[in-house]
Structure 1
Amino acid sequence: MRVHVMDLDIGDRLSADTFNSYGLHVLSRGTLLRSQEISKLLLHQIDYVDVETRQQPEQLDEPESLLTELNTLADETFRLLKPIYEDSITGTESLFKEALAEGVINDKIVQDTFIPLTNHVKDQRDVVDLLLMLNNQNDYTIQHSIQVGILSYFIANWMGYDETESQLIGKAGYLHDIGKCRVDDEILNKPGKLTDYEFRMMTQHTIHGYEIIRNSIYPYSIAVVALQHHERMDGSGYPFHLQGTNIHPYAKIVSVADVYCAMITERIYQTKRDLLTVLKELHEMSFTKLDPTVTHIFISQMIPNFIGKKVLLHNGELGKIILTNNSDYFRPLIQVKDQFVDLSLDRSLEIQEIYM
């Protein structure tokens, strides 16, 4: 069936090779269309493509139908990822328990849990989908450690680090919160605001993590990330209120991953927030607290993953992101039924939620 590019759905599969107007081959027959592929077609100004017959027609009228469709499309990726992720959860729980009991990191657990997961997801192009799939009801600290490790690996890769160093930075992200094994669970899981004493105890996890990693077989840079991942560019962080160039480059990367993953996760005292809204907040923080280069590279790599995603606008209408706006990342072009709405021009509309 022949479909206009703006009517494509995530999960459509090409039934014929696709060429641009100059005869350049763009995508091959059989390609499963995700956000990146649809964006590529738009960039080559291709209007129509041939796709395999859809099993079910697209439905944008009911949120329930939309969620059913999107969950179906994600099932295969999640089916392959789920057992590896569950093994990582189990392994990371053991890692924290051993670190508390022995005061060192068991590297075999790291090699058997985090590294296989990184190797599995390294070719995952849609990081937005990946992070949403990894959100569940597991212990926050355990889940957060895995997510920050994966995202730190991706950011390092996007910044041009080679594979070996990207893996090292990913491992630093994975171990950044290991010091929390020495913090009381009542403080870690407290639903309300921490007292001054409790906050001081919480901040000590950076020092505990540094000590545990320094007593292990890891490079100094990994220990420094555990120590500095809460430091901020303007000196407002902890434990030493370091500024700018005094913060290790790896710690700057892990800080961005740490803040982002914390914001998108539902916790006892926090409901998870819309992904675009979180990116907006990170953008604002890049002018004061987070390293601007790391943050802007992260945002520029994440934004294209939103093309093709279904959205709920604050007025109750459902639509699909067609194009991002280079002058305003956070106000893209939206297709609502048979109309196109440029949110950079229509400031009265806001995206309320993005669906995977």
Structure 2
Amino acid sequence: MGQDFSQLAEVQGILGALQGSDDVARAAAEARNGQLTKPPGALGRLEELAIWYCGWRGDGRARIEAPQIIVFAGNHGVTARGVSAFPAEVTAQMVANFQAGGAAINQLARCFGARMDVHALSLDVPTADFTQEPAMTQAELVAAMHTGWDAVDPASDLLVTGEMGIGNTTSASAILHLLYGGQAGDWTGEGTGVDASGLALKTQVVEAAAKLHAGATGLDVLRRVGGRELAAMAGAILRARVLRIPVLLDGFICTAAAACLESEQSGALDHCVAGHVSAETAHAPALERLGKMPLLSLDMRLGEGSGGALAIGVMQGALACHSGMATFAEAGVAGG
């Protein structure tokens, strides 16, 4: 697991050499699932999730014991355009709240026994206004991705990446518009709660960004219209793949960051499941583009990793049943 990078080409090299899940462990998990004391398919999607998880962990009877939640924070130069209902200062204020244990994500981490880490990325230096120039240089993109890469605990066995960054729904909308086309309005929503005129302005900003950066793909989209916290999430998701740690994708912003990896290398998100679908209007179509069916749908739009964190409980339940339930032979039950 000694892979590392200092240049964008090295990141692309890692993406091009990704390994798949463990077929032997997956087969063992499938065999065990067929012997458990339940009718075939009775646990529905929980069975698929458990088998998928076991394949990535290389253990046909895996359990989830060390989940990790990482929240990355960054500031966006595009907020000067008036795209958010909140000022950029809120990013640093919320980071302090995370560190003090007072945010929603802190409570959810405690609920599911997850380690939680917070990383603020150069909050005093916002990214450039991406309607005028690329948000980041290649060096800045690589540095932010490296923060995410280094933030993953190799001892963890499930990862959720969350974010905080005023203006980052605009960034995510621009990413998805560049990756998937359509109209700017298809990918632009209310975010933290802008009104109708604010939404119109936000849509215009996304459209302007798409025109300036037309033709960009993959990680270059992340560099041009992303943010440091989005790049850090992408770096963490990539590190998790190298370490064979399954990932629960959070909401709209996390999905946009992850989509850049998939655009760069097909299959890069095979170790990821969508934790939830948020109330942000473009999240569902983004997940559809990635072929990810969300575990939960609770009309959440908080970010912070909150929807992904809730889905930890679903995954824990799936693995507890799969790896803890008795087989027909062990229980002495007829029908196996």
Fold match by TM threshold 0.5? no
| Structure 1 length-normalised TM | 0.29
| Structure 2 length-normalised TM | 0.31
Structure ranking higher on relative contact order (CA contacts 8 Å, 6+ apart): 2
Which of the pair has more CA radius of gyration?
A: 1
